[in-house]
Amino acid sequence: MLQETLYSMLATLGFAIIFNIRGKNILYASLGGALAWFSYLLFQKLNFSISAANFMASIIIGIYSEVMARINKAPVTVYVVCSLIPLVPGGGMYYTMFESITGSLDKALRLGVETISSAGALAIGVLLISSISRLLSQANQKRKSY
């Protein structure tokens, strides 16, 4: 599990370079990737389904990214984009394509739905956290203006 987390971190590091992140943000972004995969595996170990594990992992990286963005005064995107990459269901996409090419349509459909629901779970997790953080920052601003 730790080994996989390390792999995830290094893969995310590659993406941080592709997205042209510089300085210490590279480190924080790759740590986000590691955190994403670690929590994904952890929740799978706790008998969560794949989509549910995706959902929980994306909530965790959402929180991580919002916190990091506040600390470093950088846009949240910098952290979310990189951390999210390992969770994107590339595997699901591939197997769906493979099954539909080899002609087992029912398998392809099942995998396709699974892939879409994983991607959806990912999206909803991030959506939830950024909505909450928006709410909090709006509340903060109101308090200041009074």
Minimum separation from the CB atom of position 41 to another protein (A): 10
Of residues 129, 28, 106, the one with CA closest to residue 73: 28
Minimum separation from the CB atom of position 75 to another protein (A): 5
Angle, CA 122 vertex, CA 117 and CA 127 arms, to 5°:
120
Cα-based distances in Å from 100 to 95, 109, 142: 8, 8, 53
Q: Which lies closer to another protein via its Cβ, residue 7 or residue 48?
A: 7
Alpha-carbon span 87 to 107, nearest angstrom? 22
Q: Which lies closer to another protein via its Cβ, residue 39 or residue 96?
A: 96
Minimum separation from the CB atom of position 71 to another protein (A): 14
Minimum separation from the CB atom of position 42 to another protein (A): 15
Q: Which lies closer to another protein via its Cβ, residue 102 or residue 141?
A: 102
In this structure, are residues 83 and 27 in contact, taking their beta carbons and an 8 Å threshold? no
Q: Which lies closer to another protein via its Cβ, residue 47 or residue 101?
A: 101
Rg (CA), the chain: 17
Written as six digits, the tokens of 84 are 């999210």
**Interface ranges with another protein (CB under 8 A):** 4, 7-8, 10-15, 17-22, 25, 37, 73-78, 80-82, 84-86, 88, 90-91, 93-98, 100-102, 119, 122-123, 126-127, 130-131, 134
